[in-house]
């Protein structure tokens, strides 16, 4: 059943036990909510947010035996059993916008793959180097209350579209790699002078605006913040945001073991596994590596990923791992990269003819 956006936003302001003017309890919505496909105990997932743009550019995919197939079929054949999709507010060309994300989520749902939604709250990538307020929200960047309202409204609008399309996300990230907060400067945590006064409180309010909006529509979804550098001790960060008022059902991390050179890839893997174990022990919450990637051109790429996935699968408290954009191949890059002068992503896991590389074998064990 279609749900009115304004009613949903109003719902966020009500308590669960609020009564009607007559004193009667509100009646439940008679329309059944969508249900997620079965969620695996340990998800072996992939973020394929570039898929629709790749298909628009003529890219196609094949199984290992060379048979042409839809990417979701190819990924399932590789052992992938969950999908992650990002969403931006008003992106260039519409790629990774609401409509694009929902269309891909429907395809994943039809393939029997549970979905993770990754809210960036930006018009482009949000990460440790940028947490840019969407252009349409900039006039309100000095008003935390209005920014919280924007976060709640955007989250509700996107998830209502998913609801109406019959898709229930299993997991939702509120923010992407928010180590130094989100929606800068309003939700920034520190600058060159140190911690920003009330930074964690402001961040927690923005985060909880998203969290509450998710729970209003999909109370079963696991809602989580997301940090980069899984190999680091990140417990302090989660302790601070909890103390500032943030609630989370799980913890999401990124891990790119070949992106830095202070340690070997194997050492980065070992450190990440140890930190994931420590986080689960400290917070008693499932930990998900929602982004992982290895450099396809390196001869050890497949073994580095397999060793990491195998270690996580045996680790109590780890609920899954998602490869970031494995479907990229043939030096393809999104149109916006050309305008920015950026190189193609070098951690795709497909060969030049659209077939999965041995890297993907890590998900099929």
- Cα four-point dihedral sign 77, 112, 286, 249: positive
CA dist 149 and 155 (Å) reads 10
Q: Per-residue b/e over 125-145, b at no fewer than 16 CB within 10 Å?
A: bbbeeebbbbeebeebbeebe
- Please state the separation of Cα 56 from the chain's center in Å: 23
52, part of any domain: yes
User: In this model, does residue 19 exceed pLDDT 50?
Assistant: no
User: In this model, does residue 2 exceed pLDDT 60?
Assistant: no
8, part of any domain: no
pLDDT at 114: 98
24, part of any domain: no
pLDDT at 11: 45
User: In this model, does residue 299 exceed pLDDT 90?
Assistant: yes
Q: 3-class SS at 291?
A: strand
In this predicted model, what pLDDT tens digit does every residue of 136-188 receive, in sequence order?
999 999 999 999 999 999 999 999 999 999 999 999 999 999 999 999 999 99
The parent domain of residue 163 ranges over: 42-363
Which of 14-18, 117-121, 297-301 is predicted least confidently? 14-18
User: In this model, does residue 102 exceed pLDDT 50?
Assistant: yes
In this predicted model, what pLDDT tens digit does every residue of 31-44 receive, in sequence order?
677 999 999 999 99
23, part of any domain: no
Any idea what DSSP says for residue 49?
T
28, part of any domain: no
Minimal CA–CA distance to 118: which of 77, 162, 148? Answer: 162
328, part of any domain: yes
User: In this model, does residue 20 exceed pLDDT 80?
Assistant: no
CATH label of the domain that carries residue 301: 3.20.20.80
Minimal CA–CA distance to 272: which of 257, 259, 286? Answer: 257
Do residues 103 and 154 lie in contact, with contact meaning Cβ atoms separated by under 8 Å? no
pLDDT at 365: 67
CA dist 10 and 149 (Å) reads 11
75, part of any domain: yes
**Average pLDDT over every residue of 225-234:** 98
**Average pLDDT over every residue of 86-100:** 98
Confidence class of residue 13 from pLDDT cuts 50, 70 and 90? very low
Q: Which residues contact 277 (CB under 8 A, 6 or more apart)?
A: 315, 316, 317, 318
Q: 3-class SS at 82?
A: strand
193, part of any domain: yes
**Average pLDDT over every residue of 196-216:** 98
Minimal CA–CA distance to 81: which of 325, 247, 332, 323? Answer: 323
Q: Per-residue b/e over 69-108, b at no fewer than 16 CB within 10 Å?
A: bebbebbbbbebbbbbbbbbbebeeebbbbebbbebbebb
pLDDT at 33: 78
H or E stretch including 190?
strand 190-191
The percentage of the chain sitting over the pLDDT mark of 70, rounded to a whole number, equals 91
Confidence class of residue 3 from pLDDT cuts 50, 70 and 90? very low
The domain total for the chain is 1
Do residues 287 and 341 lie in contact, with contact meaning Cβ atoms separated by under 8 Å? no
Do residues 324 and 152 lie in contact, with contact meaning Cβ atoms separated by under 8 Å? no
User: In this model, does residue 4 exceed pLDDT 70?
Assistant: no
Q: Give me the count of residues in the chain.
A: 365
Q: Read off the pTM.
A: 0.92
User: In this model, does residue 278 exceed pLDDT 70?
Assistant: yes
Minimal CA–CA distance to 154: which of 246, 90, 219, 94? Answer: 90
User: In this model, does residue 238 exceed pLDDT 70?
Assistant: yes
pLDDT at 32: 75
């Amino acid at each position: 059943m279609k749900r009115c956006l304004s009613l949903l936003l109003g719902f966020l302001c009500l308590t669960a036990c609020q009564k009607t003017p007559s004193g009667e309890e509100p009646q439940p919505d008679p329309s059944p909510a969508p249900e997620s496909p079965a969620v695996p105990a340990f998800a072996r997932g992939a973020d394929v947010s570039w898929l629709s743009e790749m298909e628009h550019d003529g890219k196609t995919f094949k199984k290992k035996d060379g048979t042409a197939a839809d990417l979701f079929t190819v990924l399932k054949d590789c052992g992938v059993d969950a999908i992650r999709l990002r969403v931006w507010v008003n992106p260039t060309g519409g790629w990774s916008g609401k409509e694009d994300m929902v269309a891909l989520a429907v395809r994943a749902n039809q393939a029997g793959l549970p979905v993770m939604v990754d809210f960036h709250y930006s018009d482009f990538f949000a990460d440790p180097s940028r947490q840019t307020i969407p252009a349409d929200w900039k006039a309100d960047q000095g008003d935390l209350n209005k920014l919280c309202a924007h976060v709640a409204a955007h989250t509700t609008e996107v998830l209502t579209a998913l609801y109406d399309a019959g898709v229930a996300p299993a997991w939702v990230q509120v923010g992407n790699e928010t180590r130094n907060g989100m929606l800068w400067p309003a939700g920034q945590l520190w600058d060159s002078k140190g911690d920003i006064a009330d930074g964690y409180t402001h961040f927690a309010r923005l985060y909880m605006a998203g969290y509450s909006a998710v729970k209003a529509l999909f109370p079963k979804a696991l809602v989580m913040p997301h940090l980069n550098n899984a190999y680091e001790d990140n417990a302090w960060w989660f302790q601070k945001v909890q103390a500032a008022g943030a609630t989370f059902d799980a913890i999401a991390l990124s891990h790119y073991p070949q992106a830095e050179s202070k340690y070997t890839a194997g050492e980065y893997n070992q450190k990440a596994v140890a930190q994931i174990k420590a986080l689960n022990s400290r917070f008693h919450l499932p930990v998900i590596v929602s982004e992982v990637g290895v450099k396809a051109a390196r001869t050890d790429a497949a073994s580095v990923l397999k060793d990491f996935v195998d270690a996580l699968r045996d680790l109590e408290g780890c609920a899954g791992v998602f490869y970031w954009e494995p479907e990229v191949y043939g030096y393809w890059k999104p149109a916006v990269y050309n305008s920015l002068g950026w190189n193609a992503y070098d951690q795709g896991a497909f060969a030049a003819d659209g077939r999965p590389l041995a890297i993907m074998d890590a998900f099929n064990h």
